Amino acid sequence: MNIRTLAFLAIASCAALWIADSAPAQDNTVTITNFKFEPKTLTVPAGATVTWENKEGAHTVTADKGQFKSPNLRAGEKFSFTFTKPGAYAYHCAFHGSSGGGNMAGSIIVAPPKKR
Ligand SMILES: [Cu+2]
């Protein structure tokens, strides 16, 4: 192994570490577009903050059971909520959906923290 190979390996392994270290946390964004939530079901770890980003029209993010409720979101507006308790959270748009998954609706699944 010559010095160039060594140098390359050293740089490559540093880069690999850097990438692993700076990998962004899971993308917890739900896009609101064309009268639907995308993805419709999103699974996140407990403690995660989910952000809904409205791309078009006026919509809301309203939990079926009232755990969270956004104001009316116009195009370009966002709403965030931090989920601390594991469980399934069904939500809908107050204008175009209804509780129980009717029309414009989605759900967030909050997984329990991993045991170490
Ligand atoms: Cu809507």
**How many structural domains compose the chain?**
1
**What pLDDT is stored for residue 23 in this prediction?**
47
Whether 98 is in a domain gets the answer: yes
- 16-66: per-residue pLDDT in tens? 545 444 445 568 999 999 899 999 999 999 999 999 999 999 999 999 999
How far is Cα 62 from Cα 75, in angstroms, rounded to an integer?
A: 17
Distance 2 CA to ligand 1 centre (A): 62
- 49-108: per-residue pLDDT in tens? 999 999 999 999 999 999 999 999 999 999 999 999 999 999 999 999 999 999 999 999
The CATH number of whichever domain residue 82 belongs to comes to: 2.60.40.420
With a pLDDT cut of 70, the percent of the chain lying above it is 78
- Give how far Cα 54 sits from Cα of 16, 19, 32, 75, 115, Å: 35, 30, 5, 5, 35
**What pLDDT is stored for residue 114 in this prediction?**
74
Whether 49 is in a domain gets the answer: yes
Whether 46 is in a domain gets the answer: yes
pLDDT band (50, 70, 90) for residue 4: low
Q: Is 34 left (phi over 0), alpha (psi -120 to 50) or beta?
A: left
* Reported pTM: 0.76
Distance 23 CA to ligand 1 centre (A): 33
Whether 12 is in a domain gets the answer: no
Whether 64 is in a domain gets the answer: yes
Distance 34 CA to ligand 1 centre (A): 8
Whether 93 is in a domain gets the answer: yes
By residue range, what is the domain housing residue 107? 25-111
